[in-house]
Structure 1
Amino acid sequence: MSQANNDMHLLVTGANGQLGQCLADQLKAQGIVHTLLSRQDADINDTVVLEKIVADKGVTAIINAAAYTAVDKAESEPELAKRINEDGPAALAKLCSRFDIPLLHVSTDYVFDGNNQTPYVETDQTNPSGVYGHTKLNGEIAVQRHCPKHIILRTAWVFSEYGNNFMKTMLRLAKERDTLGVVADQFGCPTYAGDIAKALISIAQQIHAAEQDKSGAQARYGVYHYAGDEAVSWHGFAMAIFEEAHQQGVLKSLPTVNAIATEAYPTPAKRPAYSVLSTAKIEGDYGVQPSEWRLAFAILQKNRMAM
């Protein structure tokens, strides 16, 4: 264990989510002192409980992986989405500011309207379409307003061996049906949650080292994009999943996958048609490489971790 890891203590909220569980795996593997908080352990709006944890354990940074991510359901549960995606980050930001520690907050590509034709950069105009995107954007604004030492990490199309996600849904449907219809006119970058976890931990370590550096090295705070290394449609993503699963013997045969338009698959919340994120800034500032998503789910399926 390095000295930097030894005196760093990370508090992770949203520990039961797919990113939270990947963070737990990575922190344990790297021997980093950490505390995991699930919704059952503590509400992120309960500042009395959280303040005691931060003070008692000597927490040096908080990673907020807690989020309301049911995009369609948010349209009928706006207050709950607001409580988790806006009020929670605001409370955490104020807490971090009081203790003068960094807050690493995870956000989403849904803060954009999807009208771009080139990858979104961090300074592009935000314009969310639905309740989920609006609450996530308001969460970003609250973090920026209340905590000077912040990292806002926007990511997209998250999948992993944990929880519910597109990869798992596609594999399940492929075993139940011979033919599937998947939207082919929405484009983004699939991102493995394990890679997001590595990125967040690396940034936390670099910030911690800069904060401890007596030579005056400055930590870089602000908004960053982190996503997969290749843009694809949902249809293309599904095809890649099926082909890999078939090659690994997870699927005995390939289903027929029909490309359909968004209009043919109406949902309560509007999705951005194009939400490809540029990762140039995070690569330049922190040396963090984009998620190699094809490699990630190849490994997951080879090890039968995607089922």
Structure 2
Amino acid sequence: MRKRVLLLGHESLLGQSLVTQAAAEDIEFLLPGTPSDAWRPDAIDGWLDELAPDAVINLAHYHQQFQLVTADAEQMAAQRQFSERLIESCAQRDMLLCMLSNTRVFSGEKNTPYTEKDELTPVGAQGAVQAALDQLLVRRCKRHLLLRFSWLLDQSPDGLLMRLVNQLQASQRVALAEEWRGNPTPLADAARVLLAVIKQMDCDAELYGVYHYASVEASSWISLAKSLGQELLSLERLSEDPIIEPVNYADQPAAQFEPQNAALNGRRLLFAFGIKPRAWRAGLDDILQPPAA
């Protein structure tokens, strides 16, 4: 890869998957200092001046954006301050900046998958922070890429996927929200998409803008749980199929900070970059395997 790309958040699970896939293609990223001191806003200009990257990928707050149920005020303030400074610094240098977004920027009241043209109507405080950062990136950075994902599935113990796995393993009868829809996306697939986009930008394809990735196909939360149950049975991590009792989504805690409709339309990404969506079910087996020692 000709461009020098600074990767912030390489220690995150998504960052690790991205680095692994890039290494298989002999691609290396520039990495900042140790994670313990990595996300101070006042360190950003030093990294950009010292490392002189052509582009920046910001995964610094990946776990908070996609895996935490709720973030506290201090975490949200840290994400906002860091991201705002990064956006401003990249804008001043006319530097390509790639950031991630989630579906909390939408109300979930739409009946069809969300497109990049839909108005941002965020759910909850975290959604409001994300929407503000999305708008700032688009407004300030001419050379920007904003990749929006729905339900990202990784192996973090407190993450979206493992919370559901723990529910299924804890009881044979599980109450789950009905009519909660999204695009489950295994982490490796998200890394594949991110790497493919950056490689094309390396070829001077000036396809700046906002893009959605939608795995095949949109699913209800209950359908995801049933597929997980089958995988857990095959791995002998369940002894029998769990009984799932549908409950009203509006009565669930998730309704306060997650849109009921989290499904995305990914046609713009396909048409612009030629990146074909993958079926999320095909990636469940790998992501449920124990992490390598």
User: Could you say whether these structures have the same fold, taking a TM-score greater than 0.5 normalized by the shorter chain as the test?
Assistant: yes
What corresponds to 1:238 in structure 2?
225
**Contact 2:154 2:160 (C-alpha < 8 Å) held by counterparts:** no
TM-score of the two chains, using structure 2 as the length reference: 0.89
Partner SS state of residue 16, structure 1: coil
Change (3 A) 1:189 1:289: same
2:185 equivalent to 1:191: yes
> Structure 1 CA distance, aligned partners of 2:19 and 2:111?
36
What corresponds to 2:16 in structure 1?
21
Q: Which amino acid aligns with 1:236?
A: S
What corresponds to 1:43 in structure 2?
39
Matches for 1:1-307 after TM superposition, within 5 Å: 5=1, 7-37=2-32, 39-46=35-42, 49-67=43-61, 68-69=64-65, 72-74=69-71, 77-84=72-79, 86-162=80-156, 164-210=158-204, 218-267=205-254, 269-301=256-288, 303-305=289-291
Q: Which amino acid aligns with 1:238?
A: A
Q: How many residues align?
A: 288
Unaligned runs of 5+ in 2: none
**Contact 2:107 2:259 (C-alpha < 8 Å) held by counterparts:** yes
Change (3 A) 1:131 1:282: same
Q: State the 4+ residue runs in structure 1 displaced beyond 4 angstroms.
A: none
Partner SS state of residue 142, structure 1: helix
> Structure 2 CA distance, aligned partners of 1:204 and 1:45?
24
- Cα RMSD over matched residues? 2.3
Unaligned runs of 5+ in 1: 211-217
> Structure 1 CA distance, aligned partners of 2:22 and 2:36?
21
> Structure 2 CA distance, aligned partners of 1:137 and 1:103?
17
Q: Which amino acid aligns with 2:25?
A: Q
Shift of 1:138: 0.5
> Structure 2 CA distance, aligned partners of 1:117 and 1:264?
19
Give CA deviations for 1:82-115 in whole Å, capped at 9, x if unaligned. 330x332221122222333211100011111011
Give CA deviations for 1:138-190 in whole Å, capped at 9, x if unaligned. 11112122211000111111112345323222222333222211111211111
> Structure 1 CA distance, aligned partners of 2:109 and 2:35?
35
Q: Which amino acid aligns with 1:183?
A: A
Change (3 A) 1:137 1:269: same
Return 263-272 or 89-98, whichever deviates more.
Answer: 263-272
> Structure 2 CA distance, aligned partners of 1:163 and 1:106?
21
**Contact 1:103 1:151 (C-alpha < 8 Å) held by counterparts:** yes
> Structure 2 CA distance, aligned partners of 1:31 and 1:224?
26
TM-score of the two chains, using structure 1 as the length reference: 0.85
**Contact 2:68 2:159 (C-alpha < 8 Å) held by counterparts:** no
> Structure 1 CA distance, aligned partners of 2:148 and 2:246?
28
